[in-house]
Structure 1
Amino acid sequence: MSLIKLNIKGISYSQTQSGAYALVLSETKGERTLPIIIGAFEAQSIAIALEKEIRPPRPLTHDLFKTFSDRFSIKVIQVIIHKLVDGVFYSSLICERDGLEEIIDARTSDAIALAVRFEAPIFTYENILDKAGVSLKMDEELIIEEDLDSDEIEFSLEEDDDDIEISLSELHAQLNEAVANENYELAAQIRDEISKHS
């Protein structure tokens, strides 16, 4: 059975499960997407790995795994989502060390968090996409949505260029403070606002 390569399309807050997120993967050559429900910690870990501007002051668990693997010359070369049972996806990390390949069982959310850090490709099988895939038009785009319940903030920038300069510098300071406090949801909101006015 041939493997189908997947890309990370986005992460959105799950409307069906409280406190959960939907990680959406899309096939590289095609219109199908594969939504996977993941926990808040895993969603945060994947989002941080995707966003190069946000650097946590202390390593997250997946960062620690990456550092450990690098130290001992272990490389994750690919992730395969190989099984779907009762709505639960099963994945494997294909690892390599000294030319020897090992297969390690992993939760799909952890496997993808590591794939992003190792820049390893993500694959699945046709039968899994047939079972759980959703077809979307190519012009539809998913965006990473943040849970804004407790940390919702509003930004206002004046039209005057000088005011924008001051506001942008304040936003950069707020971004650094949010990262230092490990408030990554707030940091993502500030980062998005900075990118609008950069």
Structure 2
Amino acid sequence: MSLVRLNIKGISYSQTQNGAYALILNEVDGDRKLPIVIGAFEAQSIAIALEKEIRPPRPLTHDLFKNFADRFDIVVKQVIIHKLVDGVFYSSLICERDKIEEIIDARTSDAIALALRFDAPIFTYKNILDKAGIYLKVDSKKEDKDKPSEDSILVDDILSGELEPAVSSEDFSSKSLEELHKLLEEAVANEDYEKAAHIRDEISKR
């Protein structure tokens, strides 16, 4: 079976399903998306790895795993999403130590959180993408001036087959750069990484 490489397109939350997050993987050489519903902790860990400017004051579980692996010269070479059963994705970590390769079973959310920290590529098999891959389209009529232009994929959008921009819970446009940097430091110190991500986006726009 042929492998298909995937990139992370986005991660966001459900406005109707409390605690549900969606991770969207994008086919590198195609338009299909692979949606995976994940937990809040794993979503936070992946989001932190994606936001390079956000540094947690203490290492999270996946950071600890990375530090442990580095200390003992273990490298995660790649992640393969190899099975889909009853809507549950199964993944493997392809690891290497002393030129010996090992395959370790892992939850897909954990595997991707680690792949980001090791800069390891993510793959799935073509038959899984054929079975679970979807196409998401942007409905420009639903966009308005109060919504950010960047696409953000929600769990609700997956269920409805649509893609809408997400609405930030707080408006930072009136803040100065100095105020934004201070708010960013406070958000990270309080481990409010979702707020920190919104602030970082506003800083990037400036």
Q: TM-score w.r.t. structure 1 length?
A: 0.87
Give the match for residue 9 of structure 1.
Answer: 9
CA distance in 1, matches of 2:15, 2:35: 13
Give the match for residue 135 of structure 1.
Answer: 135
Shift of 1:186: 1.2
Shift of 1:114: 0.2
Question: What is the Cα-based RMSD across aligned positions, in Å?
Answer: 2.1
Give the match for residue 160 of structure 1.
Answer: none
Shift of 1:46: 0.5
Counterpart pick for 2:178 among 169, 186, 196: 169
CA distance in 1, matches of 2:15, 2:199: 23
Give the match for residue 66 of structure 2.
Answer: 66
Tell me if the contact between 1:74 and 1:95 (Cα under 8 Å) persists in the aligned partners.
Answer: yes
Q: How many residues align?
A: 185
CA distance in 1, matches of 2:43, 2:37: 9
CA distance in 2, matches of 1:2, 1:51: 31
Q: TM-score w.r.t. structure 2 length?
A: 0.84
Give the match for residue 153 of structure 1.
Answer: 170
The percentage of counterpart residues that share the same residue type is: 77
Please state whether the residue corresponding to 1:41 is helix, strand or coil.
Answer: helix
CA distance in 1, matches of 2:130, 2:15: 23
CA distance in 2, matches of 1:96, 1:39: 28
Give the match for residue 94 of structure 1.
Answer: 94
CA distance in 2, matches of 1:156, 1:110: 34
Tell me if the contact between 2:22 and 2:153 (Cα under 8 Å) persists in the aligned partners.
Answer: no
CA distance in 2, matches of 1:78, 1:147: 34
Q: Give ranges in structure 1 of 5+ residues lacking alignment.
A: 158-163
Q: Give ranges in structure 2 of 5+ residues lacking alignment.
A: 141-149, 155-165
